[in-house]
Amino acid sequence: MFIAMNRFRIGLGKEDEFARIWKERETNLPEVPGFIAFHLLRGPSDEQCTLFASHTVWASRGHFEAWTRSDAFRRAHGGAGQSAGLYLGPPQFEGFEVIQAIDGRPAD
């Protein structure tokens, strides 16, 4: 399992607009081979900005990399420039391999 995260530093007061852009975008992720789940995460704030992270779980690093080479990926990222005023600096990508997993009990 592989987790792809992009960290975004969003100017204070711009958080709702940033979240709205993500919620309104169209995505074909559920049809992409190896896609398991996507979450948009809101992290801590400091005096300058609020940390957000996109957090996508893939079956493997290979599935993620295949998606980044697809036409659908290019289309999904073509509009990023429209919201450039929200960002303090470029997003920071981090890819993680899952090396240990502990699952909770199924809900009753």
User: What residue ranges bind a copy of itself (CB under 8 A)?
Assistant: 1, 3, 19, 22-23, 27, 29-31, 35-44, 51, 53, 55, 94-105
If the CB atoms of residues 40 and 66 are measured against a copy of itself, the closer one turns out to be 40
Compute the least distance from the CB of residue 81 to a copy of itself, in Å.
21
Nearest residue to 87 (alpha-carbon basis) of 51, 44, 46, 35: 51
- What is the three-class DSSP state of 23? helix
Q: Least CB distance from residue 108 to a copy of itself, whole Å? A: 11
Q: How near is the Cβ of 43 to a copy of itself at its closest, in Å?
A: 5
Name which of 36 and 80 has its Cβ closer to a copy of itself: 36
With respect to a copy of itself, which residue has the nearer C-beta, 74 or 93? 93
Q: Is 51 left (phi over 0), alpha (psi -120 to 50) or beta?
A: beta
Backbone angles phi, psi at 35, to 5 degrees: -70, 130
Alpha carbons 56 and 40: distance in angstroms, whole number: 9
